[in-house]
Chain A
Amino acid sequence: MCGIAALQIRNPALRADLGGLMHGMLCEIVERGPDSAGLALYGSERLTPDGSSAITVISDADPAALATELRAVLPDGSEPTVVAYAESVLVNAQVEASVLETVVREALPGASIIGRGSHVAVLKGVGHPVELADTYRLTEISGTQGLSHTRMATESAVTAAGAHPFTVAEDLCLVHNGSFSNHASIRRWLRAEGVDFDSENDSEVAARYIAWRMTHGDDLKTALENLQGVFDGFYTLVVTTADSMAVVRDPIACKPAIIAETGDWIAMASEYRALAALPGIDDARIFEPSPGVVYTWALPVLEGATR
């Protein structure tokens, strides 16, 4: 199986509640994937403070020692901070995400980098999803949108790096319920195109493909439409960028998905029960996304907002 729950906040007054609402949703998808879980949280003041970038690395490194090491190599004023959330170590600094990623990689050679961007923080781990959410202090998180995933592994090992979301390009996150049957061929083909991979995981291939399409000019919707012509298998995907969220299901809709829309928020989940406690759900427009159709929602741009 695997469970997905995603929420995009449209009413700024609800941004403070992002984590609390997502926690409630996550609790209802635990049974679909109890082995590991992950979150992508956009616009959080704690996890991605204004002007900073965020890199998440799977490591047991001492946070204070890593911060000292990064301070020595980063420009003055970049003020790196390091916080360990179990296996997920979140590094923030006032530099470009690509710069921060390079120095983290040099400080922790061989460690998996699972999150990157200036709008999103990614936290993943092995264990009970609700316990992980407590470790991440999810209920305290504010923000603009978020993705959660509970995994029942079928295609690769149960590790923090193998949990979803997959964030292979800045601020671009993907979660997947299903399995791809031709991922090995596509991985070989993308490798020949110069794309590097972290794992043998099938969902990573979809994330790499979307990122690769978007570096070649596709927008999110077009990239997902192209994905449908290339990937074979079962999939319900939710993909987020710094300013949008998208949902797509395979052409025979093998895996469940339900969407609820109100003026205040857009929510998607594997099962309705994950949406049942959202404020205003009784007046929401609720529907199942049609197979093979790409749905996208842009985050509302707020006057005076920097993100």
Chain B
Amino acid sequence: MTLIATDAPAATTVDLAQSSVRELNQLLHDAADGTSWTVASPVGSHNIAVGIIADIDVTIEGNVGYYFAGMHQTGTATVHGSAGVGLAENIMSGIVHVTGDASQSTGATGHGGLVIVDGNTGARCGISMKGVDIVVGGSIGHASAFMAQAGRLVVCGDAGEALGDSIYEARIYVRGEVASVGADCVEKEMRPEHLAELAELLERAGRAERPEEFRRYGSARNLYHFKVDNAGSY
């Protein structure tokens, strides 16, 4: 069997000045694996590229609104611009990449996949994350990784107040300052396996920072285990 290299087919362009978000999303849901799509004139519209289940490459030229690439399943969705609330909310797998900033609740409840924000995010980045990896080139707001259960959150800048409040088992890596850690979130030792996984995440996100520059945070595990000493309180 001979594999013949072919040029990737040209991307299909959808202009949201002419088409509705609903029409765009239907095209993306019906798209064949391996196809590429470019979206023009997003002007901050909500729900763009939500629920992609084909292995496609979608690029948005401009800023998007709420819930961009929510429930993302496969392929890559890229925003050349900034994103509103709930970027890649409940992402399952695949890659979502924003070259600008993202608002609050980036990657909220995400089960898997990779969310990359080159700029900053607002509050509640990775809230209730359940396995997603999130790499932020800038800083994140307060209450990030609140009740995080699994996955990795990498922050190349600073983290706001109450980082990792009530965290379960996600791992958080921060290069800059942490304004404060939340309940049951503590700084932890950076062991070789952590440096290794951080190096891989930074590389996948196209970052130049070195793993040694980061500190690791995680759960002290005091909050979610029942303590027999407290039995009398119930």
Contact = CB atoms under 8 A, between A and B. Distances in A.
A253 B123 contact: yes
Interface in A220-279: 252-253, 256, 258, 271-277
B103 A256 contact: yes
Contact of A252 (B45, B84, B85, B123): B123
A291 interface: yes
Given A253-B104, A286-B82, A272 B142 contact: no
Nearest to B121: A288
A288 B122 CA distance: 8
B142 A275 contact: no
A276 B65 CA distance: 10
B43 interface: yes
Interface residues of A, number: 16
Interface string B34-58: 0000000001111000000000000
B123 A272 contact: no
Given A252-B143, A256-B103, A276-B43, A291 B65 contact: no
Nearest to B103: A288
A91 B142 CA distance: 47
A272 B104 contact: no
A273 B142 contact: no
B92 to A, nearest CB: 26
Interface in B46-101: 46, 63, 65-66, 82, 84-85, 101
Given A276-B43, A286-B101, 7 more contacts: A252-B123, A271-B65, A272-B44, A272-B65, A276-B63, A286-B82, A288-B104
16 contacts: A28-B44, A253-B123, A256-B85, A256-B103, A271-B65, A271-B66, A271-B84, A272-B44, A272-B84, A273-B46, A273-B65, A275-B44, A276-B43, A288-B122, A291-B141, A291-B142
